[in-house]
Amino acid sequence: MSSRTIPVDLFNPGQVFACLGLVELSQLLIGDTCAAFDWSDPRQACFVIRCGGETDPVEAALGFLARAEIHSVSPDAENLKTSKWKVDTAPLPDGAPFPIPAPRSPATLPALLAEGTTRIELHSWGDGKIPGTVWAQRDNVKFWAGSGGYPGAAILRDALDLVRDEILGAIDAPFELSAPQSGSFRFDWRRDYIPIDVGFSLNAHPHMSPRGFPLVEILALIGISYARPERLTKLDYRYSVCSVGPAPLGPDAATLLPPSLLRAALGSRSLPFPTRSFRMRLDWPGQENQARCITSVYEESHS
């Protein structure tokens, strides 16, 4: 078995979602993955992840991202495609169901991260109610949902290109890898802002870009594809994290949690494990009922 411990800010929802993204990639690439959050040190919370075999789970996940190609997936690759933004569009395989309601524009086409035969499809920005599917049963929380017409697959490509050559060097603290980033999925609130209409607009200064955290954005997108926070109102959500005991976990902790429980914990605070729950407040950075970004986070409970 191989394991790694990385620092995480539990008050940053994007980093929590990104931890789940690491679990999903490790499970896909290696299998037999388990993990848990560790807040025994009040100065710095950590995330411990372990997998079967000798491959480091974080190294495997980041290596996959460093080598992955990005495509969009379309039910009609001739007429609904992302070639305008230099992202290849793959046709939907014969007989395969399209995972989201048919989009009206290329902006919300699903994205595909692929290396050889290893693939992971991402489409949370286009989630909607399709009767008889799992997507119809979960909240379709969206921080970015296609506004502006720039495709999600292109945003994903841009984020990856910003840090592709530096990814493997960030293995000890992947959530601190930063770069000037003009667009994002709005998972990491260290980059985002709400305009206050006092005479200054960042959009009017194209030479200026807020510094973003592309790995958090990419991994959070993967994590939220498999788990969702709990909806309270359309601008209020609760998310929770679980541990397995009050003592420091360390790489050789006897018991960690499987992916199924980590997913469930994100949207539930009633699991029988040490749990911390946080309230996440969202707001509209632009037009109401379009994109949402995180404006505040506070802790609700600690057990």
- Going from N- to C-terminal start, the domains of the chain cover 2-67+156-302
**Rounded to an integer, what is the distance from CA 78 to the centroid of its chain?**
29
pTM of the model: 0.88
Type of residue at 190 = R
Half-sphere exposure of 300 (CA within 13 A, CB side): 15
Q: Are 104 and 254 in contact (CB under 8 A)?
A: no
Helices (H), the chain: 13-29, 57-67, 152-163, 214-223, 259-266
Question: Tens-of-pLDDT digits for all 303 residues of the chain?
Answer: 888 999 999 999 999 999 999 999 999 999 999 999 999 998 999 999 999 888 999 999 999 999 999 999 998 878 889 999 999 998 887 778 888 888 888 888 999 999 999 999 998 887 655 555 555 555 667 777 666 788 999 999 999 999 999 999 999 999 999 888 777 788 887 766 555 555 555 556 566 667 788 999 999 999 999 999 999 998 899 999 999 876 666 655 568 999 999 999 999 888 888 999 999 998 877 666 666 778 889 999 776
Rounded Cα–Cα distance for residues 22 and 212 (Å): 19
Question: Which of 226, 129, 228, 141 lies closest to 185, judged by CA?
Answer: 141
Q: By three-state DSSP, how is residue 278 classified?
A: strand
